[in-house]
Amino acid sequence: MLRKINPKSVMPDPCQRSLDWLEAFATEWFKKNVPQHGQIWFSDENTRAITQSFPNSKLPVEVTLTGSFLSRILESSFWNFEQSRLWTFSPQIKDFLTNVINIDAEKIGIIGRPLYRESIFIPNFEQEVNLVYAGRLSLSKNIPALLKIVSLLQVKYKKNVTLDIFGEFDSFPDESLGKYHVSSLKEITLKTLNDLPWNKVPVFHGDVKQEEWVKVKLSHPVFISLSTSMYEDFGTAAQIAASRGWPSILSSWGGHKSSQNFLSVPYYLIPQTIDLEFIQKAKAESIASMLVQDGFEFITNKSDSSFIPDKFFNHIDYQKTIQQFIRDNSPEILFCFREKMTEFADTPKGINLFKNYHLHFSGSAQSTIALIYDDADNSEAIKELTLPSTSFELIPARHLFSNFYLKRLPQFKEIIFLNLETEMIKKVSHFLTSTLSLKIPIKIYK
Give CA angle at 166 (162, 171), nearest 5°: 125
The count of other CB atoms within 10 Å of the CB of residue 295 is 12
Residue 401 is predicted with a pLDDT of 86
Sequence-distant (6+) residues with CB within 8 A of 215 are none
Per-residue pLDDT averaged across 328-353, rounded? 94
Residue 169 is predicted with a pLDDT of 93
Map 319-388 to HEC letters. Answer: HHHHHHHHHHCCCCCHHHHCCCHHHHHCCHHHHHHHHHHHHHHHCCCCCCEEEEECCCCCCCCCCCCCCC
Whether the CA torsion 4, 6, 12, 17 is positive or negative: it is negative
* Pairing of the two strands 129-134 and 39-42: unpaired
Per-residue pLDDT averaged across 94-108, rounded? 95
Run of H or E including 64? strand 61-64
The share of the chain scoring above pLDDT 70, in percent, equals 94
Residue 9 confidence (pLDDT) above 70: no
Helix residue ranges, H only, 196-308: 236-243, 277-292
Please tell me the least confidently modeled range out of 9-18, 35-44, 141-150, 233-242: 9-18
Please tell me the least confidently modeled range out of 7-21, 73-87, 276-290: 7-21
Whether the CA torsion 47, 53, 55, 57 is positive or negative: it is positive
Report phi then psi at 408, rounded to 5.
-85, -35
The CATH code of domain 129-299 reads 3.40.50.2000
Residue 446 is predicted with a pLDDT of 73
Residue 116 is predicted with a pLDDT of 75
Can you give the pTM of this predicted structure?
0.93
Q: Are 243 and 114 within 8 A, CB to CB?
A: yes
Residue 376 is predicted with a pLDDT of 80
